[in-house]
Structure 1
Amino acid sequence: MNTENLIEALAADAAPVGTHVVERRIVSALSIAAGGAIAVLLPVYGVRADLAWLVGTPIFWAKIVFALTMAGAALLATARLSRPGVAIGRAWAWLAVPAATVLLIALVILWLAPPDARASLLMGRTWRTCSLNIALLSVPGLIAILAVVRSLAPTRLRLTGAAAGLLAGAIGTAVYCLKCPETSVPFWATWYLLGIAIPTLVGAVVGEKVLRW
């Protein structure tokens, strides 16, 4: 059998792929990521008792915008990396913008703050647990996103796994804002980014195996 005949034989029973299949799969993964993070948050941590007041404060929305901006850029990178031959383009640059912005603001605040106040601004009250809490909330999303990404036939497995982990971490961070008692920019610029970095690293490590097809 020559190559052309083989291709014709393999394609003979091929069914047409439905429209927007990729988008529907990604949306389902994002829904699981957000719903799973909330399902972990509520029984394990709960939400802030003053949440109704909190949502009226600018700092709450600044944290939400930061997390969702990271998630949006990570989603773009993940979607592109999930398909063979698709260039990632400027997705990494979009990821750098929110991270660099909050880090710059944090450095300015620390520089202007009295020396004896800098430690509390950076460490807050929950630095020991914040990043780990975000990582835990990211677990459902990481599993769901990796499962969807694997079905899209990625070729750059470690990089794709890292992008999926970053997306899960950013979604977990957005949900954690419903609980986090910290309002200092230096705090969440440091520990939120570290919390996002944990599932990113996990995704890169496991991506080589779980995304293989």
Structure 2
Amino acid sequence: MKTDELIDLLSRRAEPVDNRIAVRQFAQWLPLAALGSLLMMRTIYGLRPDLPSAAQTGLFWAKLALPACIAIGALIITTRLSRPGAKVGAGWLYIVVPLALVWLGGGFIVGTAAPQDRSLLILGISWRSCPFNILLLSVPGVVATFLAVMSLAPTNLRLAGASAGLLASSIATIAYCFHCPEMSPAFWSIWYVLGMGLVAAIGAALGPRLLRW
């Protein structure tokens, strides 16, 4: 059989690629990531005692909106990077814009506060543990997101690993918000972001090793 005939025979059996495969994979694994982080938060740390009253404030929902927006952006990026040769696309806007808004809001609040109150606005009462709590709660999400990406075909392994880690940590941060008592945007802009960044860095380190296919 000649080469041209072989190519023609193979092309006849080719079927179009289902672009929804990535969506189905993440739809399967992400609920497990969210459930795992929530169960860990509830078991290890517990809900904040004043959650019912805190949930009635706009500031609490603003706190939730930060990791939720980052999760949307990270999901878009991770889904795209799970396909060969795909670029990041506009998903980064969902990450950069809320971060910029929180940094600006936090800077304004600190700048207009009395000098003796500024350290509390930035450090809160849990700055030493907050990033590492997010790191711990991200473990179920890292497993789930990496399994989702591994079932696909990423080519930029380091960036795919970083975005998968960011996706896992943003989900974990949403869960952590139901425990964390901190209500200062200046606090979130540093310590929440540091926690999510740590997991993204770990994902970037693990990507070339675990996502290779």
**Deviation at 1:59?**
1.2
Q: For residues 199 and 9 of structure 1, do their structure 2 counterparts lie closer, same or farther at Cα, with a shift above 3 Å needed?
A: same
The residue type paired with residue 111 of structure 2 is: W
Find the counterpart in structure 2 of residue 131 from structure 1. 131
Q: Return 90-99 or 199-208, whichever deviates more.
A: 90-99
Distance across 1 between alignment mates of 2:28 and 2:65: 22
Q: Return 47-56 or 16-25, whichever deviates more.
A: 16-25
1:125-152 Cα offsets, whole Å, 9 max, x none, are 0001111111111111111101111111
**Deviation at 1:20?**
3.5
Find the counterpart in structure 1 of residue 189 from structure 2. 189
Distance across 2 between alignment mates of 1:150 and 1:65: 29
Find the counterpart in structure 1 of residue 85 from structure 2. 85
**Deviation at 1:93?**
3.0
Find the counterpart in structure 2 of residue 151 from structure 1. 151
Q: TM-score, normalised by structure 1?
A: 0.92
Find the counterpart in structure 1 of residue 211 from structure 2. 211
Stretches (4+) displaced over 2 A: 1-12, 14-22
SS at match of 2:138: helix
The residue type paired with residue 29 of structure 1 is: W
Distance across 1 between alignment mates of 2:63 and 2:102: 10
Contact 2:162/2:200 (8 A) holds in 1 = yes
The residue type paired with residue 139 of structure 1 is: V
Structure 1: which 5+ runs fail to align? Answer: none
Distance across 2 between alignment mates of 1:4 and 1:135: 55
Matched, 1:42 2:54: no
Distance across 2 between alignment mates of 1:162 and 1:147: 14
Structure 2: which 5+ runs fail to align? Answer: none
1:76-103 Cα offsets, whole Å, 9 max, x none, are 1111111012222222233111111101
**Deviation at 1:39?**
1.5
1:132-191 Cα offsets, whole Å, 9 max, x none, are 111111111111101111111000000010001111111111110100011111111111
**Percent pairwise identity:** 43
Cα RMSD over matched residues?
2.1
Distance across 2 between alignment mates of 1:192 and 1:110: 17
Count residues with an aligned counterpart: 212
What does 1:24-39 align with in structure 2 at a 5 Å threshold?
Answer: 24-39=24-39
Q: TM-score, normalised by structure 2?
A: 0.92
Distance across 1 between alignment mates of 2:149 and 2:196: 19
Q: Return 70-79 or 84-93, whichever deviates more.
A: 84-93
Q: For residues 3 and 209 of structure 1, do their structure 2 counterparts lie closer, same or farther at Cα, with a shift above 3 Å needed?
A: farther
Q: For residues 20 and 131 of structure 1, do their structure 2 counterparts lie closer, same or farther at Cα, with a shift above 3 Å needed?
A: same
1:96-128 Cα offsets, whole Å, 9 max, x none, are 111111011111111111111111110010001
What does 1:77-116 align with in structure 2 at a 5 Å threshold?
Answer: 77-116=77-116
Contact 2:23/2:79 (8 A) holds in 1 = no
Q: For residues 86 and 181 of structure 1, do their structure 2 counterparts lie closer, same or farther at Cα, with a shift above 3 Å needed?
A: same
Find the counterpart in structure 1 of residue 21 from structure 2. 21
